[in-house]
């Protein structure tokens, strides 16, 4: 007679294998009703847990989802500027592999997210969700209704009761300003990304604060507020800066795509100025060292963002770590500015 498996118990109970494991090991994370039902089913089927497996200290067989919310079609590995999101995905998959979990990847549009976008959750095919990018109220309500454990990653805001892993934008701007001031830069301009997103408003606030503590100012005409993190925002921003006629020797762009667009436009409109200023970006994208001049960028360690998110949510589902509304801020570092080779 075939020995009953944890899959048999899960199928009979109508839940995931991870939920069965939690119930059988009497760990927090499932209801008492489910715990009792799973134990009854296991006893009825004659299921016996593998003791060797239970003593290794690992929680196995979780199914974790990464839900990527977007405003504009997302760029992933293989497309220009896709290395940032691609590294987050790779880090998440690697983090799942490290803790013995499997991973599910899904995309949904911010203003059109529907319950059908959460099929993996409604069918109880996953144990927890990591949401990256945006957390609209509609999605928040759906996840709470589904009683699905979830964590926010690199999202547009903080929600007090929801845990989040995010970038240390404020300290990143401090590192960037310190480097530029040491290079002799004193007259700053900036092209922002979407200021409705934390990455936008925190980078602008961090830049202003870091300049202020050094007695420098970011004049209002030198702040070009854009609504997207793409090349066209950089091109538009560059045209606006050049029309303002105020001198600047450092251009802070909120990501590498904006910096690329600004450099591309300036090469047409004022190539001489391009040789006198330093252009910076953010995200350490794959193309930045091949731009002329190369982009001095901030590396937010996207692979680590994805990996750490997978680790945290797995520990939470296993009952080993409780995640109240805690924000986990991961450090950034500056890239080296590699010389362009013709």
Summarize pLDDT for 236-259 with one digit per residue, the tens. 999 999 999 899 999 999 999 999
Task: Please say whether the beta carbons of 210 and 270 come within 8 A.
Answer: no
Would you place residue 341 in the very low, low, confident or very high pLDDT band (cuts 50, 70, 90)?
A: very low
Q: Is the pLDDT of residue 52 over 50?
A: no
How far is 305 from 312, CA to CA, in rounded Å? Answer: 11
Torsion of CA 188, 189, 192, 196, to 10 degrees: 70
Q: What is the pLDDT of residue 78?
A: 74
Residue percentage of the chain with pLDDT more than 70: 91
Mean pLDDT of the chain: 88
Task: Please say whether the beta carbons of 200 and 254 come within 8 A.
Answer: yes
Would you place residue 3 in the very low, low, confident or very high pLDDT band (cuts 50, 70, 90)?
A: low
Question: Which of 70-84, 185-199, 240-254 is predicted least confidently?
Answer: 70-84
Question: Which of 2-11, 82-91, 176-185 is predicted least confidently?
Answer: 2-11
Task: Please say whether the beta carbons of 8 and 43 come within 8 A.
Answer: no
Report the pLDDT averaged over residues 148-158: 94
Q: Is the pLDDT of residue 227 over 90?
A: yes
Rounded to 10 deg, the angle between the 17-24 and 32-45 helix axes is 90
How far is 296 from 293, CA to CA, in rounded Å? Answer: 9
Would you place residue 57 in the very low, low, confident or very high pLDDT band (cuts 50, 70, 90)?
A: very low
Contacts 24+ apart (CB under 8 A), 142-147: 142/113, 142/115, 142/118, 143/118, 146/118, 146/121, 146/122
Task: Please say whether the beta carbons of 127 and 274 come within 8 A.
Answer: no
Range ranked top by mean pLDDT from 30-44, 74-88, 94-108, 192-206: 192-206
Strands in the chain per DSSP E: 63-70, 102-109, 128-132, 150-153, 164-167, 188-191, 223-224, 250-253, 278-280, 298-299, 327-330, 333-334
Q: What is the pLDDT of residue 73?
A: 84
Q: What is the pLDDT of residue 340?
A: 34
In the chain the domains, ranked by start, together with CATH numbers, are 6-54 (1.10.260.40), 63-166+302-332 (3.40.50.2300), 169-299 (3.40.50.2300)
Task: Please say whether the beta carbons of 25 and 318 come within 8 A.
Answer: no
Report the pLDDT averaged over residues 247-273: 97
Q: Is the pLDDT of residue 282 over 50?
A: yes
The sign of the dihedral angle between the CA atoms of 69, 71, 74, 75 is negative
Q: Is the pLDDT of residue 49 over 70?
A: no
* DSSP-derived secondary structure letter, 296: B
| Residue environment code for 170-182, b if the CB has 16+ CB neighbours within 10 A, otherwise e | bbbbbbbbebbbe
Q: What is the pLDDT of residue 337?
A: 58
Question: Which of 43-47, 57-61, 187-191, 236-240 is predicted least confidently?
Answer: 57-61
How far is 330 from 169, CA to CA, in rounded Å? Answer: 9
Q: Is the pLDDT of residue 319 over 50?
A: yes
Would you place residue 157 in the very low, low, confident or very high pLDDT band (cuts 50, 70, 90)?
A: very high
Rounded to 10 deg, the angle between the 302-318 and 83-98 helix axes is 30
Q: What is the pLDDT of residue 338?
A: 44
């Amino acid at each position: 007679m075939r020995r009953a498996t944890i899959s048999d118990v899960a199928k009979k109970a109508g839940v995931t294998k991870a939920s069965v494991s939690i119930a059988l090991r009497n760990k927090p994370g499932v209801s008492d009703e489910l715990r009792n039902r799973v134990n009854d089913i296991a006893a009825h089927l004659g299921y016996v847990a593998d003791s060797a497996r239970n003593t290794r200290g690992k929680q196995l067989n979780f199914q974790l989802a990464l839900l990527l919310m977007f405003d504009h079609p997302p760029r992933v590995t293989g497309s220009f500027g896709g290395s940032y999101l691609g590294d987050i995905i790779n880090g998440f998959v690697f983090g799942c592999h490290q803790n013995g979990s499997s991973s599910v990847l899904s995309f949904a549009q911010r203003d059109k997210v529907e319950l059908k976008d959460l099929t993996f959750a409604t069918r109880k095919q996953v144990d927890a969700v990591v949401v990256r990018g945006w957390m609209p109220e509609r999605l928040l309500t759906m996840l709470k209704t589904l009683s699905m454990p979830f964590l926010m990653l690199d999202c547009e805001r903080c929600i007090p009761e929801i845990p989040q892993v995010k970038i240390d934008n404020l300290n990143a701007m401090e590192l960037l300003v310190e480097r530029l001031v040491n290079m002799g830069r004193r007259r700053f301009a900036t092209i922002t990304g979407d200021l409705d997103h934390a990455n936008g408003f925190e980078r602008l606030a961090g830049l202003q604060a870091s300049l202020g503590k050094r007695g420098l100012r970011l004049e209002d005409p030198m702040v070009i507020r854009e609504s997207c993190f793409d090349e066209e925002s950089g091109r538009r921003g560059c045209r606006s800066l050049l029309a303002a006629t105020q001198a600047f020797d450092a251009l802070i762009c909120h990501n590498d795509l904006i910096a690329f667009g600004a450099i591309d436009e300036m090469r047409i409109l004022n190539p001489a100025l391009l040789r006198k200023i330093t252009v910076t970006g953010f995200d350490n994208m794959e193309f930045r060292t091949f731009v002329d001049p190369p982009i001095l960028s901030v590396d937010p360690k996207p692979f680590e963002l994805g990996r750490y998110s997978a680790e945290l949510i797995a520990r939470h589902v296993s009952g080993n770590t409780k995640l109240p509304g805690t924000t986990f801020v991961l450090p950034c570092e500056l890239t080296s500015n590699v010389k362009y080779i013709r």
